[in-house]
Amino acid sequence: MQATVRVAHEPVDLDGIALPDGARVALMLGAAHRDPTAYPDADRFDITRDRTGPDHLAFSSGIHYCLGAPFARLEDEIALRALATCLTRPVPPHRRRDGGATPCPASRRSR
Ligand code: HEM
């Protein structure tokens, strides 16, 4: 999700900007993740990244934080484990349950 919207329910000062009651604010989550002062070298995939900085906003923040976040994290963990396993420990053809027809579970097509 690249962006979301919030509506001010009362006048509020947002970092020096006065928002009146009812103001709509577009929050550019994708752009925030490219803020180099908060997330250095954001385009580099690095699972060993130092996690002492601010938390990411992929699941948003606050009262509308993604309800499916634990489920999505579980799905990601399963998918990344399967990918890492087949990339680092390819199963020899004679030990595959399908007799070697598919090189990796991740590449299996639905039948
Ligand atoms: C990688 C996968 C996912 C991402 C990146 C994601 C991201 C988000 C984000 C950014 C929001 C907040 C929207 C906002 O603040 O306006 C959100 C809300 C929500 N997400 Fe997800 N989501 C993911 C997967 C899921 C899944 C798998 C489910 C359900 C099984 C789910 C259910 C919801 C629900 C119900 C909300 C609304 C929460 C609320 O408004 O209180 N999401 N999600």
Whether the pLDDT of residue 41 is over 50: the answer is: yes
The residue whose CA is least distant from atom 37 of ligand 1 is 66
Contacts of 40 (CB under 8 A, 6+ apart): none
Q: In this predicted model, what pLDDT tens digit does every residue of 16-34 receive, in sequence order?
A: 999 999 999 999 999 999 9
Question: Where is pLDDT greater, at 68 or 1?
Answer: 68
Same domain, 76 and 106: yes
Same domain, 76 and 101: yes
What is the span of the domain harbouring residue 75? 67-111
Same domain, 47 and 83: no
Split into its structural domains, the chain has a count of: 2
Contacts of 25 (CB under 8 A, 6+ apart): 5, 6, 7, 8, 14, 19
Whether the pLDDT of residue 51 is over 70: the answer is: yes
Q: In this predicted model, what pLDDT tens digit does every residue of 73-109 receive, in sequence order?
A: 999 999 988 888 878 876 676 676 666 555 565 555 5
Same domain, 99 and 82: yes
Residue 71 CA: which ligand 1 atom is closest?
Answer: 27
Ligand 1, CB within 6 Å, residue ranges: 1, 4, 58-60, 64, 66-68, 71-72
Same domain, 5 and 55: yes
User: Could you tell me which of 54, 3, 69 has the C-alpha nearest to residue 30?
Assistant: 3
Same domain, 77 and 93: yes
Whether the pLDDT of residue 110 is over 50: the answer is: no
CA of 7 from ligand 1 middle (Å) equals: 18
